[in-house]
Amino acid sequence: MAAANTSCSEENFSCSICLDVFNSPVTTACGHNFCRTCITKFWDEQVKYKCPVCNKLFDTRPDLQVNTLLTEMVDRFGTSVRVKEQPCVEPAEVLCDFCTGTQLKAVKSCLVCLISYCPTHLEPHQRVAGLKKHRLVEPMDRLEDRMCKKHNQLLELFCRTEQVSVCQFCTETDHKSHPVVPLKEEYEVKTAQLGKIEAKVPRMIQERKLKIQEIKEADRQIADVAQVLNVLISYVEKWWDDFNEIRENRISTEKQTEDLIKELEREIEDLTNRSSVVKQLSHTKDHLHFLQAFRSLKDPPPTRDWTSVEVRPPSSIGTFWRSLDQLKETLNMDTAYVTMDPDTAHPKLIPSEDGKRVHHRRGMKP
């Protein structure tokens, strides 16, 4: 009998919204009692003001009256009337909006109340006739964001024309002529597209890495060409300095050279004239004239014995040409090497200490 009285007492001193012992109990005009915080929060989230128990509608938001008698009885009853606490839930779960202190795992969400409930706080929706009419769905977080702002209905569909989520009423008004599918169906389509994007991105990354390598390779080849040209320029400058030295030394013997050339040209002219006379005489048939003329041709004009005269270029000129031939050969080998292996193109050309030869850097073979 005592157990029955205790059960009756627990029901009488519990708020039908939070199912916990009344905290600052107030009474509505229809005679039902609630915690002030619970009924205030409930009405804050509703378009129309109604009683959560009997579903009575009020034209305006009622003024809540403190239930003094119930407050005194709750204080006297103390903490003996408490709903037993349930285990704490995992952080990733949807939590009950009505639990005080430790929030428990929600098992259903109400699309009318826009509140998620744990098993204990869901009980009025399973017992009270008015609350049974509410639409319950699987627990959802951020319920306000899942509701259509225009029709206050759950966003369950997806408009493919405008690429937005819509409710059932939207398909009968603004989106009447648009192709609409369930959210799950569009989710699967977009998930498949995301898979293609996910597979494409690594390829795009690899393409860009290859492009970076290509750019760096082009820069490297330009740098190699510049280095080769610098070597060639220094090589030519060295040759030019050597040649200027040869030319300056040559100036001292320039007068002697000019005299020799003039003497040679004079002898060439005399010999040319003599050749013309000989040619004419060879065609004459006059015996007397031939013999008289031949006598004048018997003795040649006075000339120098040029076999004793030696004119040789400086020995450095020969070295110059040999060095140039060697450079040509090296460059030809370098070109063939680049053609066979572009990845290691343009080996470095290094001049010798005397600046008269070119060779490849050690370790690099054509």
Q: How far apart are CA 135 and CA 148, in angstroms?
A: 15
Do residues 27 and 95 both lie within one domain? no
Q: How far apart are CA 257 and CA 255, in angstroms?
A: 5
Q: Are 108 and 136 in contact (CB under 8 A)?
A: yes
Do residues 113 and 173 both lie within one domain? no
Do residues 327 and 232 both lie within one domain? yes
Tell me how many degrees the CA angle 278-284-290 measures, rounded to the nearest 5.
70
Q: How far apart are CA 169 and CA 153, in angstroms?
A: 8
Residue 339 in domain: yes
Half-sphere exposure (CA, 13 Å, Cβ side) for 357?
6
Q: What DSSP string describes 78-113?
A: GGGS-PPP-PPPPTTSPBPSS--SSPPBPSEEETTT
> Helix or strand or coil: residue 150?
coil
Do residues 169 and 234 both lie within one domain? no
Do residues 5 and 49 both lie within one domain? yes
Residue 58 in domain: yes
Residue located via tokens 């050690």: 362
Q: Computed from CA positions of residues 122, 127, 131, 132, in that sequence, does the dihedral angle turn out positive or negative?
A: positive
**End-of-domain residue from the set 146, 165, 198:** 146
Q: Compute and round to an integer the Cα radius of gyration of the chain.
A: 57
Q: How far apart are CA 142 and CA 126, in angstroms?
A: 23
Tokens of 128: 């009270």
Q: How far apart are CA 145 and CA 155, in angstroms?
A: 9
**End-of-domain residue from the set 161, 178, 195:** 178
Do residues 365 and 220 both lie within one domain? yes
Residue 293 in domain: no
Q: How far apart are CA 12 and CA 75, in angstroms?
A: 14
> Helix or strand or coil: residue 236?
helix
Do residues 62 and 125 both lie within one domain? no
Q: What is the pLDDT of residues 119-141, one digit of tens each?
A: 989 989 888 888 888 888 888 88
Do residues 356 and 366 both lie within one domain? yes
> In a 10 Å sphere around its CB, with 0-12 CB exposed, 13-18 middle and 19+ buried, how is residue 315 labelled?
exposed
Looking at residue 332, its pLDDT comes to: 65
Looking at residue 88, its pLDDT comes to: 42
Q: How far apart are CA 69 and CA 9, in angstroms?
A: 15
Tokens of 164: 């937005």
Do residues 242 and 331 both lie within one domain? yes
Residue ranges for the chain with pLDDT beneath 50: 1-9, 79-91, 335-349, 355-358, 360-366
Q: Are 347 and 318 in contact (CB under 8 A)?
A: no
Residue 267 in domain: no
Tokens of 27: 């009474």
Structural domain count, the chain? 4
**End-of-domain residue from the set 83, 102, 128:** 83
**The CATH number of the domain where 10 resides is what?**
3.30.40.10
Domain that holds residue 210: 186-248+316-366
Do residues 209 and 88 both lie within one domain? no
Looking at residue 334, its pLDDT comes to: 54
Do residues 50 and 126 both lie within one domain? no
Looking at residue 212, its pLDDT comes to: 92
The separation between CA 78 and the C-alpha centre of its own chain, rounded to angstroms, equals 66
Do residues 30 and 75 both lie within one domain? yes
